[in-house]
Amino acid sequence: MQRFKDKSVIITGAGSGLGRAAAIRIAKEQGRLTLVDLNEAGLQETGKEIRNAAPDAEVLLVTANVASEAEVENYVAEAVKRFGTIDGFFNNAGIEGKQNLTEDFGSDEFGKVVNINLNGVFYGLKHVLKVMKEQGSGAVVNTASVGGIRGVGNQSGYAASKHGVVGLTRNSGIEYGQFGIQVNAIAPGAIMTPMVEGSLKQMDPENWEQVGEEFVQPNPMKRFGKPEEVAHLVAFLLSGDAGFINAAVIPIDGGQSYKY
């Protein structure tokens, strides 16, 4: 499959986990990539993995903080300058934040998580949708979470931000469908990435792998998802094959969010 031939795709949070897996998936299908992350070393590693997996891929690496609107404006401008269009946007960078009861959830921590996970997604939408509207085409995938459609607990900042991402997705999806643009969100369950590893280590730094085994038992599939499985969904939604899916929030969680 070469669904991304001559298509320009921006991916935020591309230095790790879901963003990296999507970058490799889309590079293998000849996408021209603008990869954004705050972590420069992570970005370089993704660039290296892409060179191994898809040696001819065109890749632009941009170190940026998605919580800064000026830096978001800049990565959008860099992508347009290099590739001319923005055909796909995986608006994905995010953090989990510290786990705590609401009364103990620091207000600074709340602000930090919301700034990155919600403001960052909004800035991305604002600046990318303007370009896509002028083109009259494009597809966006925002990364929400099961924590954006269900209560998880101990995650005030994460819950508020991810429920907000769901709201932004529905809002922009109904606004921009008329311009030939789709805006969807994915709602991953527990996918084994460095973020989930960090989360398990917050629960028990010594025995986090065992905690992980127990953690997935309530899941109908009794396992963590793989970043590559999420990458397949993201690529489908951005590829043009999913042309009439818009303003949708799609769980990818082994069925967990449907379970009573």
Closest to ligand NAD by CB, 166 or 177: 166
How many residues bind ligand NAD, per CB under 6 A? Answer: 29
Starting at the earlier edge strand, list the strands of the sheet with 8-12: 59-63, 32-37, 8-12, 88-91, 138-143, 181-188, 249-252
Out of 27, 38, 132, 185, point to the residue binding ligand NAD (CB under 6 A).
38
115 to 134, contacts with ligand NAD by CB under 6 A?
Answer: 116, 120
- Pattern 79-118, ligand NAD, x by CB under 6 A: -------------xxxx--------------------x--
158 catalytic per annotation? yes
What whole-number distance in Å separates Cα of residue 121 and Cα of residue 114? 10
Does the protein bind ligand NAD through residue 15 (CB under 6 A)? yes
- Helices H / strands E in the chain, number of each: 9, 7
- Pattern 55-74, ligand NAD, x by CB under 6 A: ----------xxx-------
Does the protein bind ligand NAD through residue 138 (CB under 6 A)? no
Contact 76, 10 (CB under 8 A): yes
Integer Rg of the chain from CA: 17
Token match 């082994």: residue? 254
What whole-number distance in Å separates Cα of residue 40 and Cα of residue 29? 24
Q: Annotated active-site positions, please?
A: 158
Question: Which residue ranges make up the site for ligand NAD (CB under 6 A)?
Answer: 12-13, 15-19, 37-39, 42, 65-67, 92-95, 116, 120, 143, 145, 188, 190-191, 193-196
